[in-house]
């Protein structure tokens, strides 16, 4: 599915973005291994989250989808059954990596596969520590999926995370729940902290300080009710749109405001946009309303330590940088090269097609703005966030922009283009 996006004269309205993808995966997974029922409202309807649900169902978990809620019948930590076929994780790195942690401690063998993009993403970062915990994991070409996990009795380990990845951290905390003794994570633990917040909500205890997270094994989880707030990574497109289209204004309600996820909002404020935030819910996750009024933006530098709090929003930031006055530079973002596409490369190819000069580095990019975007044909590279970032960029470009392969938006935001149309009509 290709889309043609034209220059927009206005951009305003109210949006309830879909439930957060990271929380949706975790709600399903933790609900599945709890005792009793878990009731989730606001679950993301994107393909990635449906993939997690289908994998759990393939292992015998009952998931009832009602109009406004999803009920998961927990089977307990060790109640999963071996799936009849390989578990297809589709495009979802979160599904594959967190399932690896869970399956490492089961007493059966599982095979995990994914689509072409997922099959190029590194899985050794999860497999290596899980092997130290005792699991047997066979990867393709020592790094990739398809992969096979022979579950074992795990033992807790101390482990220093070499990459700031919440997926790896979460996989190890889940495996830690199934292990004998304690698992203590140090190193690059500063990434989104939903697993650390939600596991205690489901009744498990964790110990955290500034440099470590420790979880003891053999703890039971108890089913909960949880209203999943809106996804800040989806909201980022509307916040950016209000700035791209002159004096746009957008209100977002029930948005997740966890500080490990709101780096894009902080960056946008530093660039000169006016954001007002109103906290409504405090636990287990901060959530509330956000209003943005677009204004002239200035370029900024994003430091390596800030990157993880806006990692999925960097493609949008790169496009936005062409509208800002001065230099925008992002460094320390080498993880972008191993996402659904190589996002530094995808962004650079598309921006150049639209006439923009961008300098890239192994770990980021530099753009001197403002530069006028010229409508052109660009590609999503099968990556949902690239498709959406360029759809927003196109709103301020001269002439029409054709975006190829836009079906990728279904991964996280199936109603993205409908909402875009509504906001540009004003």
For binding to ligand S3P (CB under 6 A), which residues are involved?
A: 22, 25, 93-94, 165-167, 170, 191-192, 311-312, 335
Q: Which class for 303: exposed (0-12), middle (13-18), buried (19 or more C-beta within 10 A)?
A: exposed
Question: What's the rounded Cα separation, in Å, for the pair 126 and 122?
Answer: 9
Given the complex with ligand S3P, which of 20 and 379 has the nearer CB atom? 20
Q: Are 177 and 153 in contact (CB under 8 A)?
A: no
DSSP H helices in 257-411: 263-271, 314-321, 343-353, 384-394
DSSP H helices in 289-383: 314-321, 343-353
Q: What are phi and psi of 194, to 5 degrees?
A: -65, -35
Given the complex with ligand S3P, which of 25 and 152 has the nearer CB atom? 25
Question: What's the rounded Cα separation, in Å, for the pair 12 and 21?
Answer: 24
- DSSP per residue over 176-187, as a string? HHHSBSEEEEEE
Q: Are 138 and 103 in contact (CB under 8 A)?
A: no
Given the complex with ligand S3P, which of 12 and 127 has the nearer CB atom? 127
Catalytic residue among 48, 88, 312, 383: 312
* Residue 344: closest CA among 355, 332, 354, 154: 332
Give the HSE-up count for residue 175: Cα atoms under 13 Å, Cβ half-sphere: 37
- State in angstroms the smallest separation of the CB of 158 from ligand S3P: 20
Given the complex with ligand S3P, which of 22 and 117 has the nearer CB atom? 22
- State in angstroms the smallest separation of the CB of 142 from ligand S3P: 19
Q: Are 217 and 176 in contact (CB under 8 A)?
A: yes
Decide if 312 is catalytic: yes
Given the complex with ligand S3P, which of 24 and 34 has the nearer CB atom? 24
Which one-letter DSSP state was computed for residue 231?
A: P
Q: Catalytic positions, please?
A: 312
């Amino acid at each position: 599915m290709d889309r043609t996006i034209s220059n927009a004269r206005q951009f305003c309205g109210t949006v309830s973005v879909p439930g957060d993808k990271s929380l949706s995966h975790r709600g399903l997974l933790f609900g599945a291994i709890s005792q009793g029922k878990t009731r989730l409202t606001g679950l993301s309807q994107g393909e990635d989250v449906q993939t997690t649900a289908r994998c759990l169902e393939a292992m015998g978990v009952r998931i009832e989808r009602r109009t406004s809620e999803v009920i998961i019948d927990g089977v307990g930590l060790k109640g999963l059954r071996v799936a009849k076929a390989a578990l297809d994780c589709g495009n979802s790195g979160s599904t594959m990596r967190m399932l690896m942690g869970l399956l490492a401690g089961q007493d059966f063998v599982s095979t995990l596969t994914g689509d072409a993009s997922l099959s190029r993403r590194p899985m050794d970062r999860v497999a290596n520590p899980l092997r130290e915990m005792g699991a047997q994991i066979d990867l393709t070409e020592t790094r990739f999926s398809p992969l096979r996990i022979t579950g074992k009795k795990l033992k807790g380990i101390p482990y220093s995370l070499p990459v700031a990845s919440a997926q790896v951290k979460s996989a190890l905390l889940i495996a830690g729940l199934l292990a004998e003794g304690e698992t203590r994570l140090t190193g690059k633990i500063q990434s989104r902290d939903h697993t650390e917040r939600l596991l205690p909500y489901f009744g498990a205890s964790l110990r955290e300080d500034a440099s470590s997270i420790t979880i003891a094994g053999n703890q039971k989880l108890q089913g909960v009710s949880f209203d999943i707030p809106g996804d800040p990574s989806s909201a980022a497109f509307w916040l950016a749109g209000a700035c791209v289209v002159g004096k746009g204004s957008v209100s977002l309600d029930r948005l997740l405001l966890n500080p490990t996820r709101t780096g894009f909002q902080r960056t946008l404020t530093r660039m000169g946009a006016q954001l007002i935030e109103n906290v409504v819910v405090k636990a287990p996750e901060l959530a509330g309303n956000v209003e943005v009024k677009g204004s002239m933006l200035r370029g900024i530098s994003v430091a390596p330590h800030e990157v993880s709090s806006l990692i999925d929003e960097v493609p949008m930031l790169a496009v936005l940088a062409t509208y800002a006055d001065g230099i925008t530079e992002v460094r320390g973002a080498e993880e972008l090269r191993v996402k659904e596409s190589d996002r530094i490369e995808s962004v650079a190819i598309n921006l150049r097609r639209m006439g923009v000069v961008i300098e890239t580095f192994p770990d980021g990019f530099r753009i001197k703005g403002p530069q006028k975007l010229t409508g052109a044909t660009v590609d999503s590279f099968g990556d949902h966030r690239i498709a959406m970032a360029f759809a927003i960029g196109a709103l301020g470009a001269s002439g029409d922009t054709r975006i190829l392969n836009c079906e990728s938006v279904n991964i996280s935001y199936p109603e993205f283009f409908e909402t875009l149309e509504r906001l540009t009509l004003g």
